Amino acid sequence: ILNFDEDLNSKKITKSIEIVYGLRNFIGNANKFSKSKVFIRLKSDTNFTQINIEDDGNGFPNDIISKIGEPYLKSSKSLKEKSGLGLGLFIGKTLLEKNFATVSCWNSEKRGGAEVVIKWKNKDLFNL
């Protein structure tokens, strides 16, 4: 489900393979761990552009939330068939931060699954 209702900024973003790969990692994880839906919201104003990615899955294990983005991360409560070593999150976060984004992860209060918020200052995003 894509929501563009809050998109007030019509500027073009220079294509960056790092941004594409980073977003693909987080969207792919949301798809992998969702029960049935992934929600993506793009919000932009004159100062910031933000992408929220949420899923309706089980969310991040509580024992790793504060460590998301570190490599070789494994929860003691991992779902064996879907768990990894956190390298996709590490690489995605690193690539996006290299392109001036801030990346925050937590469990969604609204949907119960994982929520990732990726935010740029427009002056950084549009001048890549």
Convert the pLDDT of each residue in 27-51 to its tens digit. Answer: 999 999 999 999 999 888 888 999 9
- Could you write out the DSSP letters of every residue in 56-96? SS----TTTGGGTTSSS---TT--TTT---SHHHHHHHHHH
Assess contact for 118 and 44: CB atoms under 8 A.
no
pLDDT band at 3 (very low <50, low <70, confident <90, very high): low
pLDDT band at 2 (very low <50, low <70, confident <90, very high): very low
Query: 65 or 19, which is more confident?
Result: 19
The pLDDT assigned to 127 comes to 72
